[in-house]
Amino acid sequence: MAPEQDILNPPAPSVGVEQAEAALVEHYPRLVRLAYLVLPPSLGRNRRVLTAHAIVQRSLPRRRTGSADGSGGGLIPGARRAEAGVDPGYVYVRRRVVRQALEAGLPLRRRAWPKRAQFPPLLPQVRGLRLFPRSGGADELALDQHLSALSGPARAAYVLRGLERLDDDAVCAELNAAGVGQARRALTEAGDAEPRAALLESAEFDPCSLQARPTDLMRRRQHGRAALAAVAALVVCGALIGLPGDGWGPDGAAAPSYAQNPAAQAALDPGRLLRVEPTAWTTATRTDFSVWPARGNLLGDAALLRRALAVWARPGESVQVSATPGTPSGPPMGAAQLLFAGDVDQARVVLFYDGLRVARYAEPHQGTAGAALDFARVDAADAPSASALVVGRTDGNVRYLTAPWVHEVLVRDLLAPDAPARELRRDGNGVTGPVSSPSQASQCTSWDALEFQDDSGVRLMTDLGELAPARLTWGPPSDPRDVGDRSAREGWARTACLLPTVRSHGVRSVNDWRFAQQALPESNGTGDWICTRAETWRGAGSRVFAQFQAPSTRLAPGAIVARAENSASCGIREARVLAGVLWKSRGGNWFVLAAGSPQVASVTLSGGMTGSEKGNLLAVRAKEGARAELNGRLADGSPINTLR
């Protein structure tokens, strides 16, 4: 007689190892995204990416076990409550992924044996690069901040409900299987995931589509030089031991290794620093940093200047060195120009200029521990871009040293285009009072920019985390102008919060260009299409992004719909652009909107959707989540692709 069975709670079905492996391979990108979202944001994006991949890759059982029929098929226990229409192998792997992701967020305790997921992953490993997903817009940033505020179980509940589309009972079952003791409490804390569920599938949270940036290049270079020097010393010692007679062979016309180079000696002598007269800029043929006079209350402190030059030539291990991309950080080629030496807040600061770079040395008033050395490339500067330099940063505030031709400095909040600018006081050396630095703020509630007034007009500049502030302009690439009228200020009010995407990139100027305006379907008002281009001091490495600004009474940030790097689009060499977006009307209907610059004569949709329009604007009814390929033609018949 067959044994009795519990028909209400049947035994869990067995899942073959091959079935679980097939599910992992087939759904690998989704599983890695799931692990990335559940992992605590405090790990940092680079470690979260590597840990997410490691968790998924080790989510299969280590050993195969014999099947029930002795065939050796490798069976493992499946989920007790199978989801309708879902592969049991996928459910099994997903539960292991969620469990390990939750364990990775647990703090290490002395009395508890640590779990494998709590340590940095052994594999995969990436040397010399930082990996992170592509940046999203304001909505993705808000969602990431919301997830970081949740506990681990609540974050897992939010992701399972939003990304996996599980109901509450299924989410609780998954959390219980992952070892969560109070699943209902985690579900309540997670809140409703439906309004922002689609954002979980955006590129902001895709750890399989990554960007790469170098790690701390200066520290790597210092370690590399130290290792190279050690190897060279060993080679030299071995050669000296093996050579007969005096050891060294002839070096031709080379001087002895201990000879001093005159140019290098001049660069280390504070007495040879170039000091420009205060009125030199009034008669010079060019107006840039080369005609800045030497200012500050410590110009006569030879010991300070000697220390600053010595650190510039040979920064020690305790010196914090930074440089904008494309800026060499080596010693000066000869005697540099002294721009400033004085007390700024709680530090002694020295600014140098060598024709290519500005170097800033800062040390605390008490001793030299914690000294910093910063470099920024400023070659080919003109009067507007040479209006100011950052001389000090303290507690989120920044002080500037202004050019001698600047008459007045005002502070303007870019997010309040109608608010009047307020005056910013300067001391006798041209150093401003403290200004809030928006480039490092965690939330974009205001954005203070500086208005520099001189004989040629008003320049609007902002801090992007570098020594030289970036100039903001408005208008077509062929004729960008300074931000002066209300229309330009309103456009920048909706772009300012997107500027962190170009922060610390060696940016010289950022131009906003409204290349099209579009009457929206169903009488939803008029939308603006803006192309924002950030030019760098080094010429290469420009960053471009197109944004769509729907009508908004709150001047909300625009939505980035396309972006590119090292592209000529929206610049003087290629003053044209084409972009599109999937947009939802107030009536709940979806449309594909597209717009091109005035040179675009026609726009066409293909690849799953069809539609075309003569001219540079297009609006086609679509479904939520629709995808299509967008192409255009210029007036001369040549094709134009979307910005990418």
Residues in the chain: 644
The residues facing 633 across adjacent strands are 602, 639
Q: Which residues of 612-629 are buried (b: 16+ CB within 10 A; e: fewer)?
A: eeeebbbbbebeeeeebe
Rounded Cα gap, residues 570 and 574, in angstroms: 6
Burial 122-144 (b: 16+ CB within 10 A, else e): eeeeeeeebbbbebbbeebbebb
If you search the block for the tokens 């490993």, which residue do you land on? 125
Render 319-362 in DSSP notation, one character per residue: SEEEE-TT---S--SSPPEEEEEEEETTEEEEEEE-SSEEEEEE
pLDDT on residue 139: 75
Cβ–Cβ contacts within 10 Å for residue 389, how many? 23
Q: What is the DSSP code string of 77-136? A: E--SSPPTTS-HHHHHHHHHHHHHHHHHTSPP-SSSPPPGGGSPPSSS--SSEEEEEPP-
pLDDT of residue 109: 63
What are the φ/ψ torsions at residue 486 (nearest 5 degrees)? -70, -35
Q: What is the pLDDT of residue 67?
A: 36
d(CA 359, CA 354): 8
Residue type present at position 433 = G
Q: Which long-range CB contacts under 8 A does 499-503 form with residues at least 24 apart?
A: 499/438, 499/439, 499/447, 499/462, 499/464, 500/439, 501/135, 501/543, 501/545, 501/560, 501/563, 502/464, 502/534, 502/543, 503/439, 503/464, 503/465
Residues of the chain short of pLDDT 50, as ranges, are 1-12, 64-76, 78-82, 240-252, 254-255, 257-258
Measured in whole angstroms, the distance separating CA 450 from the mean position of its chain's CA atoms is 23
* pTM attached to this predicted model: 0.62
Give how far Cα 20 sits from Cα of 59, 179, 526, Å.
9, 21, 51
Q: Identify the CA nearest to 392 among candidates 442, 353, 433.
A: 433
- What per-residue confidence (pLDDT) applies to 216? 58
Pairwise CA distance, residues 287 & 626, whole Å: 53
Question: What count of other Cβ atoms lies within 10 Å of the Cβ of residue 493?
Answer: 21
Dump pLDDT digits (tens) for 97-131.
Answer: 999 888 887 776 655 556 666 666 776 777 767 77
Range 167-176, long-range pairs (CB < 8 A, 24+ positions): 170/81, 170/83, 173/80, 173/81, 174/94, 174/95, 174/98, 175/98
